[in-house]
């Protein structure tokens, strides 16, 4: 889909929908596609903010040409040097030789790494708070180091109160016609914004909190990110999501149960935990077989909910190979502010539960609930009772209340025996 859409009278969305790429950054699945958003500002001095991924341009250059209507392109602002936004820098410099590429000091260092032949006289460095005067529009810049690269910055249009936030507030998901949040059902994009955040930006919570503090002084009428839909209906809600995610504050009450199982024993334990949680009143329960569902969706739901059960079969003295990458990513991101329950299966000297326990030990911000439950082979009745007790503890924690002692899954024979 290659169209222009008006953001305001003088600003157009000129991004592209990418429904072809299988995996973002070559590892995160894109079942609903992705957009690379780019914006054109029509003014005395013309300006494009963020470019698009190399190879996805379609008629991107024609659309710029049409909007220019015979004029020169004066500025290309590169808020972030990742190739999904900087891929077309060089084509644009060739098409518009007088155009200045605008970025910060670190942007230039990165341009040098990506493209050895860049003519540095075409680069214009800006600093925090500096004004770029286009005529009617006065743009300024807010550095956002490590949200999610060192050179990341946002551009703010002080005239129309628009924040061009780049990857911050971006979501996966191609645009299906409506470009603004008030033109569509936003549920899909909110979920895909969380998946984007948790998998790509999740390690940099402190830096995100700092960026939000900085942006909170601005009057923002539109957030125009570099991926996904544009936000204008409820800006505060979108910022609140990010503020919470940066601090690992969950969006809703609920529990994720993720497991890895070869023969189904660990899986049975997971199913029992899910049923028990439901009996104890937990309404959002997400059960994931790590062998089946891509880790990025599981990680996204781990951000969404406060409770987490991780279960693993034992595999060569370690956790199951499909659980391991999830643990290592969460460890790398310094997961905190979660209640964690541990379970697993083994036959000889174990390894699965032990691996999850050492993962938990490495994360001081995690509260482990009860004792880890490790079963040898097929779970027995007493194992299901132990699982029920663990589920009860988790339910108490996430619902912040005592669970009625009359409520039991095993005693009334509804447990998973
Ligand atoms: C390749 C492979 C490696 C295994 N390594 C271990 C191990 O290191 N320690 C252990 O106690 N059991 C090990 N087992 C046995 C399983 O962990 C055990 O059968 C367990 O009950 C399977 O649970 P599941 O049904 O959830 O897959 C291994 C099994 C396989 C197939
Ligand atoms: Fe990026
Ligand atoms: Fe991006």
Q: For 240-251, what is each residue's pLDDT tens digit? A: 999 999 999 999
At residue 410, does pLDDT exceed 70? no
Characterize 343-364 residue by residue with b for buried, 16 or more Cβ atoms within 10 angstroms of its Cβ, and e for exposed. Answer: bbbbeeebbbbbbbbebbeebe
Number of domains the chain contains: 2
Same structural domain, 182 and 37: yes
Is position 405 within any domain? no
Residues 90 and 68 in one domain: yes
Check residue 401 and give its pLDDT.
86
The DSSP bridge partners found for residue 166 are 225
User: Does residue 415 form part of some domain?
Assistant: no
> To 10 degrees, the CA torsion angle through 41, 166, 162, 190?
130
Give residue-wise pLDDT tens across range 232-242.
999 999 999 99
Q: Locate all alpha helices (DSSP H) within 17-86, ordered by sequence.
A: 60-68, 83-86
- Choosing from 257, 266, 346, 378 the residue with most ligand 1 atoms within 8 A of its CB, the one to mutate for a pocket test is 346
Instruction: Give dist(CA 248, CA 203) in Å, integer.
Output: 11
Taking residues 103-132, report their average pLDDT. 96
Rounded distance from Cα 152 to ligand 2 centre (Å): 8
165 with 303, same domain: the answer is no
Which parts of 37-90 are beta strand (E)?
39-41, 47-49, 75-77
Which residues lie closer than 8 Å to 372 by C-beta, 6 or more apart? Answer: 342, 343, 344, 353, 356, 357
φ, ψ for residue 82, nearest 5 deg: -60, 140
19 with 141, same domain?
yes
pLDDT for 386 beyond 90: yes
Mean pLDDT of 98-115: 96
Q: What is the pLDDT of residue 116?
A: 87
- Please answer whether residues 257 and 274 qualify as being in contact, where contact means their C-beta atoms are separated by less than 8 angstroms: yes
Could you tell me the two tokens for 98? Answer: 């007088």
Residue minimizing CA distance to atom 2 of ligand 1: 315
One domain for residues 206 and 336: no
Residue 344 has pLDDT above 60, yes or no: yes
Position 131 in a domain: yes
Render pLDDT for 46-66 as a digit per residue (tens, 0 to 9).
Answer: 999 999 998 899 999 999 999
Residue that terminates a domain, selected from 224, 246, 268: 246
Residue 412 lies in a domain: no
Q: Are 346 and 383 in contact (CB under 8 A)?
A: no
The reported pTM is: 0.94
131 SS3 class: strand
Instruction: Give me the pLDDT at residue 403, please.
Output: 84
**pLDDT at position 412 over 60:** no
pLDDT (mean) for 284-291: 98
Q: Quick check: is 154 in a domain? A: yes
As a whole number of angstroms, the distance between CA 160 and CA 168 comes to: 19
**Residue of 57, 128, 131 whose CA lies nearest to 92:** 57
Nearest 5°: CA angle at 108, between 107 and 112? 120
Domain finish residue from 230, 246, 262: 246
- Name the closest-CA residue to atom 3, ligand 1: 315
Could you tell me the distance, in angstroms and rounded to a whole number, from the CA of residue 53 to the centre of ligand 1?
44
- Asked if the structure places residue 313 within a domain, the reply is yes
Pocket of ligand 1 (CB under 6 A): 261-266, 313-317, 345-351, 377
Average pLDDT of the chain, as a whole number: 95
Sign of CA dihedral 243, 245, 246, 248: positive
**Are 197 and 322 members of one domain?**
no
* pLDDT score for 415: 54
pLDDT score at 186: 95
Residues 104-120, mean pLDDT to the nearest whole number? 94
347 CA distance to ligand 1 centroid (A)? Answer: 6
pLDDT above 70 as % of the chain? 97
pLDDT (average), residues 117-129: 96
**DSSP string covering 208-219:** HHHHHHHHTTS-
- The predicted-structure confidence for 247-263, as pLDDT tens digits, reads as follows 999 999 999 999 999 99
CA 303 to chain centre: 9
Looking at the structure, do residues 239 and 286 belong to the same domain, yes or no? no
Helical pair 295-304 and 324-332, crossing angle rounded to 10 deg = 50
Distance from the Cα of residue 354 to its chain's centroid: 29
| Residue range 2-29, pLDDT digits in tens | 678 999 999 999 999 999 999 999 999 9
Q: Are 387 and 370 in contact (CB under 8 A)?
A: no
Last residue of a domain, one of 246, 266, 296: 246
CATH code, domain with 278: 3.40.50.360
pLDDT value at 129 more than 80: yes
pLDDT band at 404 (very low <50, low <70, confident <90, very high): confident
Asked whether residue 101 falls in the same domain as residue 22, the answer is: yes
Number of the ligand 1 atom closest to the C-alpha atom of 350 = 11
Q: Whose CA is nearest to atom 9 of ligand 1?
A: 350
142 and 221 part of one domain: yes
Take atom 16 of ligand 1 and give the residue whose Cα is closest.
346
Asked whether the beta carbons of 144 and 168 are under 8 A apart, the reply is yes
**Cα-to-centroid distance, 401 and ligand 3 (Å):** 41
Question: What atom of ligand 1 comes closest to residue 262's alpha carbon?
Answer: 27
Provide mean pLDDT across the span 211-221: 95
pLDDT of res. 414: 53
SS3 246: helix
In angstroms, the CA 285 to CA 193 distance is 20
- The range of the structural domain enclosing residue 331 comes to 252-399
**Does the residue 408 lie in any domain?**
no
Domain assignment present for 411 = no
Q: What is the rounded distance in angstroms from the CA atom of residue 348 to the CA atom of residue 119?
A: 64
**What is the number of other CB atoms lying within 10 angstroms of the CB of residue 181?**
21
Do both 263 and 209 map to the same domain?
A: no
Whether residue 43 is found in the same domain as residue 101: yes
Ligand sitting nearest the alpha carbon of 172: 3
Contact 99, 93 (CB under 8 A): yes
Give tens-digit pLDDT for 181-215: 999 999 999 999 999 999 999 999 999 999 999 99
For residue 411, what pLDDT is reported? 53
Cβ-in-10-Å burial (0-12, 13-18, 19+) of 184 comes to middle
Q: Which atom of ligand 1 is nearest to the CA of 317?
A: 8
Q: Please check whether residues 328 and 352 belong to one and the same domain.
A: yes
Instruction: Give the CATH number, domain containing residue 194.
Output: 3.60.15.10
């Amino acid at each position: 889909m290659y169209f222009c859409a008006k953001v305001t009278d003088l600003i157009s969305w000129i991004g592209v929908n990418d429904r072809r790429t299988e995996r973002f950054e070559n590892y995160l699945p894109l079942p609903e596609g992705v957009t690379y958003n780019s914006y054109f500002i029509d003014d005395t001095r013309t300006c494009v903010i963020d470019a698009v991924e190399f190879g996805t341009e379609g008629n991107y250059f024609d659309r710029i040409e049409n909007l220019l209507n015979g004029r020169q392109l004066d500025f290309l602002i590169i808020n972030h040097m990742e190739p999904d936004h900087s891929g077309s820098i060089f084509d644009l410099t060739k098409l518009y030789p007088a155009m200045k590429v605008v970025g910060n000091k670190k942007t230039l260092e990165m341009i040098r790494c990506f493209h050895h032949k860049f003519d540095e006289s075409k680069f214009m460095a800006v600093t925090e708070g500096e004004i770029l005067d286009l005529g009617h529009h006065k743009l300024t810049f807010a550095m956002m180091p490590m949200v999610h690269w060192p050179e990341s910055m946002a551009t703010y249009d002080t005239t129309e109160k628009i924040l061009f936030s780049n990857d911050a507030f971006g979501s996966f998901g191609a645009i299906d016609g409506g470009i603004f949040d008030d033109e569509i059902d936003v549920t899909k994009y909110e979920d895909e914004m969380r998946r984007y955040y948790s998998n790509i930006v999740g390690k940099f919570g402190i830096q995100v909190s700092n960026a939000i503090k900085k942006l909170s002084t601005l009057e923002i009428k539109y957030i125009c990110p570099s991926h996904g839909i544009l936000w204008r209906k409820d800006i505060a809600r979108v910022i609140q999501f990010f503020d919470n995610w940066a601090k690992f504050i969950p969006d809703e009450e609920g529990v994720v149960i993720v497991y890895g199982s070869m023969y189904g024993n660990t899986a049975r334990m997971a199913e029992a935990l899910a049923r028990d949680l439901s009996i104890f009143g937990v309404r959002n329960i997400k059960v994931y077989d790590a062998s089946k569902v891509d880790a990025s969706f599981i990680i996204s739901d781990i951000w969404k909910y406060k409770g987490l059960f991780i279960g693993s079969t034992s595999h060569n003295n370690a956790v199951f190979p499909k659980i391991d990458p999830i643990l290592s990513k969460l460890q790398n991101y310094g997961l905190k502010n979660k209640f964690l329950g541990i379970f697993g299966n083994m036959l000889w000297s174990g390894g699965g539960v032990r691996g999850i326990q050492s993962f938990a030990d490495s994360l001081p911000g995690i509260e482990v609930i009860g004792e880890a439950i490790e079963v040898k082979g097929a779970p027995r009745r007493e194992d299901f009772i132990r699982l029920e007790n663990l589920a009860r503890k988790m339910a108490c924690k996430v619902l912040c209340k005592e669970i009625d002692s009359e409520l039991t899954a095993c005693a009334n024979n509804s447990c998973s025996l």
